[in-house]
Amino acid sequence: MKKVMAISYCCLFFSQLNGSSASGLGQRGPLNRECHRDLLTETKSTPLKMQPTSGRRVVPELHFYIVTWNMNSKPPLNSLENILDVVGEKYDFYVIGFQEAPNFSAEALITQALGDTYCCVAAAILTSLQLFVFAKKSLQPHITGPRVDKVGVGGFGTVVGRQKGAAAVAFYYKKVSLLFITSHLSPHECNMEERNAQYTRICQTIFARQAVSCSCIQMSADVDEPYCKLRVGSNFVEKTDVVIWLGDLNYRVELPRSSVGFLISHNLEKVLWAKDQLSRAVQRGEVFKGFQEGPLLFPPTYKYDIGTDNYDTSSKERVPSWTDRILYKVMETSFIKANLRGYTSINSVKTSDHRPVKAHLTLINMKNSS
């Protein structure tokens, strides 16, 4: 009887999809040999190994491990290894974004978890909103022009650790421009238009003025710094070859709590996905134009009772939602191709009311971009 009810409920929600699909949300100059970084104090997939085959050229790839986590101002228990896949050094870059981060030594803990093979390319910190990009040391000669920037759009970062806005890192890998943004947008289901407006403001503002560069970068006299070519007012998101955007975007599921709970309990996340605010806003062309996202086939990442697998049992009974997201965009005219190898939550980490979300993204033709 229970199975029949689940199937009937599923059919009811599929009838509301209206045929929509949520599958598409939509260098120059040598690098100083020392690991470089620039801090603004205010401001389950396994990679496929390409095996040579007779008469067939192997396509070079760069592997990115991306993770976003709203820490709810709670420090990690011991280390950060539980949110970082550190086995086998199979990733070329690690991109780590924190929201509502407590006062803790994030960079040191990341360095400890990744080991001596990696170093910090750049870190952008806007109080409780933090972004770190690490790379294999062997890739340092190909990384140039690191920049960091920040955009505040509200919140109380210095008071209660809930800064709203964005922190960004940009640099070149060979001749390919890369941009990484972590953001924390306004909460609550009713504030979708405000979130959309904050996204637009971040796109218009990030790197639109002079950003901070890494002092250890020593460009030769005949090298033209690529990022200086973009004038004030340029939409940096549109003009960058590859953009990876991660964070607590705070978009909600528009269904009653009881309906959401039923669908989750019956592993019907695909049905629930159709009611996700962000997916619907992207389909309407309101935000994240040109971005892609993996399927939301994992349970909503917010809001949990801390230390448990139970969704909010407080008097507010917040509707479980996929507030924590990772999206990416490749410029249409670029020769770079992106392949999402994995996208899921990390359910073993329960110190926050949010679950971390991780992605494995490969960029093809990056190593041939010199």
**Residue 243 Cα distances to 103, 108, 179, 239, 288, angstroms:** 28, 26, 5, 10, 11
- How many residues in the chain? 370
Residues 6+ apart with CB under 8 A from 142: 27, 31, 173, 174, 370
Cα separation, 257 vs 355, in Å, equals 19
CATH number, span 32-46+60-368:
3.60.10.10
Question: What is the helix (H) or strand (E) element at residue 194, kind and residue range?
Answer: helix 192-205
**Residue 18 Cα distances to 12, 13, 292, 322, angstroms:** 12, 10, 21, 21
Q: Tell the burial category of 271 from Cβ atoms under 10 Å away from its Cβ (0-12, 13-18, 19+).
A: buried
What does 308-324 look like in DSSP terms, one character per residue?
SS-B--STT-PPPB--E
The per-residue pLDDT for 217 is 37
CB atoms within 10 A of CB 16: 10
The per-residue pLDDT for 360 is 98
The per-residue pLDDT for 351 is 96
The per-residue pLDDT for 46 is 35
The per-residue pLDDT for 88 is 81
Per-residue pLDDT of the chain (370 residues; tens, 9 = 90+): 544 455 454 554 444 444 444 444 443 333 444 454 443 333 333 333 333 333 444 448 999 999 999 999 999 988 899 999 998 889 999 999 999 999 999 999 999 999 999 999 999 999 999 999 999 999 999 999 999 999 998 755 444 457 899 999 999 999 999 999 999 999 999 999 999 999 999 999 999 876 666 533 333 333 445 444 444 446 899 999 999 999 999 999 999 999 999 999 999 999 999 999 999 999 999 999 999 999 999 999 999 999 999 999 999 999 999 999 999 999 998 899 999 999 999 999 999 999 999 999 999 987 566 5
The per-residue pLDDT for 154 is 73
Annotated domain spans of the chain: 32-46+60-368
pTM, rounded to two decimals: 0.82
